[in-house]
Structure 1
Amino acid sequence: MSVDKKTVEQIIKGVGGKENIAAATHCVTRLRFALKDESKVDKEALENIDLVKGSFSANGQFQVVIGQGTVDKVYKEMVEMTGIGESSKQEIKDEAAKKLNPLQRAIKTLADIFIPILPAIVTAGLLMGINNVLTGPGIFFEESVVQRFPQWADFASIINLIANTAFVFLPGLIGWSALNRFGGSPLLGIVLGLMLVHPDLLNAWGYGAAEEIPTWNLFGLDVQKVGYQGQVLPILIASWVLASIEKWLRNRIPDAFQLLLVAPIALLVTGFVSFIAIGPVTFAIGNVITSAVVGIFEVAPIIGGIIYGGLYAPLVITGMHHTFLAVDLQLIGSTGGTFLWPMVALSNIAQGTAALAMMFVLKDEKLRSLSGTSAVSAYLGITEPAMFGVNLRYRFAFISAIIGSALAGAVISMAGVKAPSIGVGGLPGFLSIFPENWGSFFTGMAIVLVVPFVLTILFGKMRKTK
C-alpha cells in the first residue's frame, strides 16, 4: 500500500507544522512526536484524515495511531518532507521527559523498567495457564488431566519449569532492565538480581515457615541470609544504588583501570548494602503494601473491584496503569497470585465490546470499519485502536465500557478470582486464570460482553434523538 504525500502533509499540518516538531519516531502502530507546543495540534483535522485511526497525548508524547505496516511508510515520507531526521525512541522519550512533573517522571521510570520485561512475564503467564489446565482437577474430569493420564505428568512438569523461570529469576530480569534505565551496565544488573535469589540464601517463599533464620555475622552485626524471590522493591532500589556507584566510579577512575576496579567495587558495595539495609527495609515495605492492597479487597471487595475495574481504562490514558505492574508482581511474589490482572483482561474486552457496538451506531463507513477492526484487536488484548480511535472520540462508548468493566470487577473480586501471573489480555485471558476461578471469570466476561454493548447502543440512540 503506497502512501499519498498529501495525506502525510495533512498529518504534519495537523500536529502544528514541521516547525512544531522537536523530534519524531514511530512504534508498531503509531507515530510518536515530541512537540514544542501541543496546543497547536488540530485533533479534529487529524482524525478526519483517512489514514489516522486516532490520536492522544501521553507521557509528554503526542501519538498518532496509523496502523501496522503503514506507519513505517508514513514516517519515512514524513522524514523526507520535514527534514527532521530519524530519531530513536529513547531520544523521543528524553525530549518528552523534559515536560513531565516529578510524579509523571516516576511513573515513566517504572514503565521504562517493566515494559521491556513484560513479554517474558506474559509468556510465563500463558504457559502457567497451560500447566494449570493439565494439573487442575475438575476441568475435564473429576481429577486432573495428569492424574487421568499419568504419561502427561512429566510433560506438564517441564511446562511448569519453563513457565516459572521468569518468576524464580524475576530480580534478574528487573535488574537488567533497571540498570539499562538508570544508565549502568545491564549485565551487572543481571548479576545483582541473581545474587538476591542465590540458592545459598533462605528462599523468601519459605521465610514465614522457617523455624530458624540463618544469619551472617559481620563483626558483631547479624545479617539475615534471606533471598528476595518474587520481590520487586529490593532489586529496584539496589539497581539504582548500583548504577549510581558505577557512574560515580567511571567518572573518577582512569580508563586503564576501569575494567579492574569499577564493576568489582560497585557490585561489592551494592551487595553489602543490599543485604544489610536495602533488602530488609524494602522487604518490610513490600509486605506492608501487599497487606494494604489485599486488605482493601478483603474488607470491601465490591468497592475495590468497582474502583479498579472502572478506573483501569482512564489510567491507561494517563499512563499510570504501568505503576500497577509492580503491584501485580509484588502480589504474585508474596501471595502466589494477583486479583488485579484479571480485571485488566476484562477491561480490555469491555473496550472491545463498546467499539463493536459502535459499528451499529455509526453511519460513516470508515468509522464503522475502524470500530470492527479495533474491537477484534481489543478482544486480543490490544486496546489502543478501540480506546483512542473510537471510544474516546464518542465518550458515551468509553463510559459504557467503564461501567461494564466496573460491574465485572465487582463480581470477580467478590468471587476472589486470581491469576498466577500477568498473562494474555482480552478473550484468551481465561488461560492465565486459576482453573478453579474460571466459572466466576466467565461470568465477568459475560458482563463485559453484554453491558457495554447494550449501553453503547442505548446511549447512541439517545444521542441521535437530540
Structure 2
Amino acid sequence: MNYTKIAQEILEAIGGMENIDSAAHCATRLRLVLKDNDKADKGKVESVEGVKGAFVNSGQFQIIIGQGVVNKVYAELKRSGDVEEASTGDVKKAAMKNLNPAQRFARTLSNIFVPIIPAIVASGLLMGLLGMMNTYGWVDADSSLLILLDMFSNAAFVFLPVIVAFSAAKQFEANPYLAAVLGGIMIHPALQNAWTLGAGVEQTLDLFGFEIAMVGYQGTVLPILIAVWIMGYIERTTRRYVPNALDIIITPFVTILASGFISLMVIGPFGRLLGDGISMALFTIYDTAGVLAGLIFGGVYSLIVITGVHHSFHAFEAELLNNVGRNFLLPIWSMANIAQGGAALAVYFKTKSTKMKAIALPAATSCLLGITEAAIFGVNLRLVKPFIGAMIGGALGGAYVVLTNVGMTAVGLTAIPGISIVESGGMINYLIGFLIAFGGAFASVWAIGFDDVK
C-alpha cells in the first residue's frame, strides 16, 4: 500500500492543503477540521485505496482508514504540506466552531459524560453481580461480601456530583478542584441523604429570610452541571478584578462562597425539579406508549446518532438511574446499534463489490460490540436502503425489549458488552431482542435490496 499516494489523493479530494484548519487521528479515523466542508468531495475520498468510508460528524470531516494504517497515512499527510498537528481534543474544540447551538450543547454534554462512563459502568456491573447474588442466593444475605459489594456498587452514584463536577469544569473553563469542592458541598454529610426524601424534608434553615432545605444531591446530575457552569462565570469574573498577587487567595474564596450559597439556595432545588421532570416525562412516555415508544425510539435512534446528539443522552440516563432506579432507554439504543450490524452483514452477502465486502464484514462485527460508526457511515447510510433496513430492525428490537420490560443498571454499554449490565431476570429477553433486531435488519435489507456500488 502506497501511503504517500493515499495521502495525496485524500488531500486533492478534500480541497487541498489550504482547506485544512487542523488535523488529528484516532485509532481508525483521520479527523480533519476543514475550512469549508462543501469543497470536500466525499465520493472521491471514498474511492481512494484503503479508505473505508467518510462522513461529517460533530463539525469534523472523518475518514475511516483502519487501525495501524491511519497512523502512516496521517504521517504522510503532514509531510505533504503544512498541516497543523493537533490532539483529538484540540480538533474537537476547533470543530465546535462549526456546530450550531444545539449541536454544541449536545457535544458539551458528551465531552463531560464520556470520560466518566467507566466509573458508572463499573458500578452498574457490580450492581448486576449483587442482584444476581441476592436473586439466586449464592451467598447469605447478611454476609460481609454482600455488604462490601453494596458499598462498592453505589459509591459512584453517591459521589456522582463530585465526579461530574470535575469533568464539567474542564468544559466550562472552571478550576476542576474548586468544582469538586462544590460537588462535595452538595452531598455533604450534614445534608439529608437524597434517597430519604420519600419521608419528607427533615430540616430547613432560615438565612436572611430565605428558606434553605438541608437536602443533599447524591446521584443527581443536572444540579451540579448548572452549578459548575455558573461557578465558571463567578471564577472568571472575580479573577478579572482581583490583583494577581491576591488571586490565589481571593478568587477561590469568593468562588466557593458565592457558588455554594447559590447552589444550595437556587440551583439545587431548580436542578432537582428539572431532572425529576425530565425523568418523569420519559417514564410517562415509556409507561403510556409502551411498545409504540420502543418501536419509535428504536427506529429513529440511528438518525440521532448521525447528528452526534446521542452522546448527550448519558446525562438523562444517569437521571433515570437516580430517579427511577433503572435505565430503560439503553436496551432500546442497544437494539438500534445491533440492527446496524445486521444490515451491514446483509450488504456483505449481497454486494458484488470487493471493496464494500471488505468494509461491511468488520463493520457488522464491530456493531456487535456497540461500535456503529463504520457500519452507519461506511456502509448503510452510504447505500441508503440498508440504513432504512437497520431502522426497521432497531424498531422491532426496541418494541420487544419494551414489551418485556428489559432494563439496565448503568450507562455506556450496548450490544454484547451490554449483557453485563442487564437487570437480573431480563437476560433472556435481551438476547431475544438482540436476535429480532439483528435478524429483522438483515431480512429487511435482503428483501428491499439496494443499489450496489459500481
User: What's the % identity of the aligned pairs?
Assistant: 40
Instruction: Give how far 1:222 is off.
Output: 2.3
Mark the CA change 1:452 to 1:199 in structure 2 (over 3 Å): closer, same or farther.
same
Match of 2:74 in 1: 75
Match of 1:163 in 2: 153
Task: Say whether 1:192 aligns with 2:182.
Answer: yes
With normalisation by structure 2, the TM-score equals 0.94
Instruction: Give how far 1:118 is off.
Output: 2.1
Counterpart secondary structure, 2:198: coil
Task: Say whether 1:180 aligns with 2:173.
Answer: no
Instruction: Give how far 1:119 is off.
Output: 2.6
Match of 1:146 in 2: 139
The amino acid that maps onto 1:276 is M
Match of 2:198 among 208, 218, 235: 208
Counting matched residue pairs gives 452
Task: Say whether 1:59 aligns with 2:58.
Answer: yes
Q: Deviation string for 1:79-124 (max 9, x for gaps)? A: 1212123113343233322222222222222122222222322333
Task: Say whether 1:287 aligns with 2:286.
Answer: no
Instruction: Give how far 1:54 is off.
Output: 1.2
Match of 2:377 in 1: 388
Q: Deviation string for 1:39-91 (max 9, x for gaps)? A: 11111111122321211111211111122232222222211212123113343
Match of 1:378 among 347, 367, 373: 367
Match of 1:340 among 319, 329, 340: 329
Q: Write the mapping of 1:443-458 to structure 2, written as runs, cut at 5 A.
A: 443-458=432-447
Counterpart secondary structure, 1:436: coil
Mark the CA change 1:209 to 1:3 in structure 2 (over 3 Å): closer, same or farther.
farther
Task: Say whether 1:39 aligns with 2:38.
Answer: yes
Match of 2:409 in 1: 420
The amino acid that maps onto 2:76 is E
Instruction: Give how far 1:156 is off.
Output: 4.8
8 Å Cα contact 2:33-2:59 kept in structure 1: yes
With normalisation by structure 1, the TM-score equals 0.92
Counterpart secondary structure, 2:51: coil
Mark the CA change 1:442 to 1:283 in structure 2 (over 3 Å): closer, same or farther.
same
Q: Deviation string for 1:149-195 (max 9, x for gaps)? A: x79x5445444433322222111111011111011111111111122
Distance 2:362 2:130 in 1: 32
The amino acid that maps onto 1:109 is T
8 Å Cα contact 1:126-1:423 kept in structure 2: no
Mark the CA change 1:80 to 1:155 in structure 2 (over 3 Å): closer, same or farther.
farther
Match of 1:110 in 2: 109
Distance 2:355 2:130 in 1: 42
8 Å Cα contact 1:32-1:62 kept in structure 2: yes
Counterpart secondary structure, 1:251: helix
Distance 2:209 2:3 in 1: 75
Mark the CA change 1:52 to 1:124 in structure 2 (over 3 Å): closer, same or farther.
farther
Match of 1:404 in 2: 393
Match of 1:328 in 2: 317
Mark the CA change 1:214 to 1:256 in structure 2 (over 3 Å): closer, same or farther.
same
Distance 2:76 2:153 in 1: 43
Task: Say whether 1:221 aligns with 2:210.
Answer: yes
Distance 1:379 1:417 in 2: 18
Q: Write the mapping of 1:115-130 to structure 2, written as runs, cut at 5 A.
A: 115-130=114-129
Counterpart secondary structure, 2:241: coil
Match of 1:140 in 2: none
Q: Deviation string for 1:178-229 (max 9, x for gaps)? A: 111011111111111122112221111111224x521222234321111111
Distance 1:18 1:68 in 2: 24
Distance 1:42 1:67 in 2: 20
Q: Deviation string for 1:221-263 (max 9, x for gaps)? A: 3211111112111001100111111111122212211111111
8 Å Cα contact 1:419-1:433 kept in structure 2: yes
Counterpart secondary structure, 2:296: helix
8 Å Cα contact 1:423-1:432 kept in structure 2: no
Match of 2:98 in 1: 99
Match of 2:86 in 1: 87
